[in-house]
């Protein structure tokens, strides 16, 4: 059996350490048993903004595949959201104007729609 070189041993150890770190850094659920909220999952909201009902809640079922962790609705129609690498949010309505939260994205979309109806975004 060939001897293991120092380089091979260090490379293997680094790969194992990286794999272990990724396993322990797996995403946590939205709320823990103690009731603490995960900062990566936006808090739910439900309000009327400029005469339009905007709602946000944790994504479940078919909506969970978007990877944003939340579903936002304007008057019952889903606003397709995307999360940027820097933690900001954009939507199909205001794609070039990042905002800090899904609630801010919903409000910005209402502002941009100027009373027009939000049309459903076709899913692929």
DSSP 8-class letter at 62: G
Segment 25-68, tens digit of pLDDT = 544 444 444 454 556 677 899 999 999 999 999 887 655 545 67
Tell me the mean pLDDT in the region 11-20. 72
Q: In this predicted structure, what is the pLDDT of residue 13?
A: 72
Segment 73-98, tens digit of pLDDT = 999 999 999 999 999 999 999 889 99
Please give the domain boundaries of the chain with CATH numbers for all domains.
45-113 (3.30.1880.10)
Q: In this predicted structure, what is the pLDDT of residue 22?
A: 63
């Amino acid at each position: 059996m060939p001897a293991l070189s120092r380089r091979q041993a260090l490379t293997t150890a680094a790969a194992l350490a990286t794999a272990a770190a990724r396993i322990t850094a797996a995403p946590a659920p939205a709320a823990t048993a103690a009731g603490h909220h995960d900062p990566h999952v936006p808090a739910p909201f439900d309000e009327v903004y400029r005469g339009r009902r905007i709602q946000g809640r944790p994504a479940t079922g078919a909506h969970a595949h978007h990877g944003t962790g939340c579903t936002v609705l304007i008057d019952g129609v889903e606003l397709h959201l995307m999360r940027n690498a820097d933690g900001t949010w954009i939507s199909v309505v205001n794609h070039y104007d990042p905002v800090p939260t899904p609630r801010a994205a919903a409000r910005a979309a209402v502002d941009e729609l100027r009373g027009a109806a939000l049309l459903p975004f076709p899913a692929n």
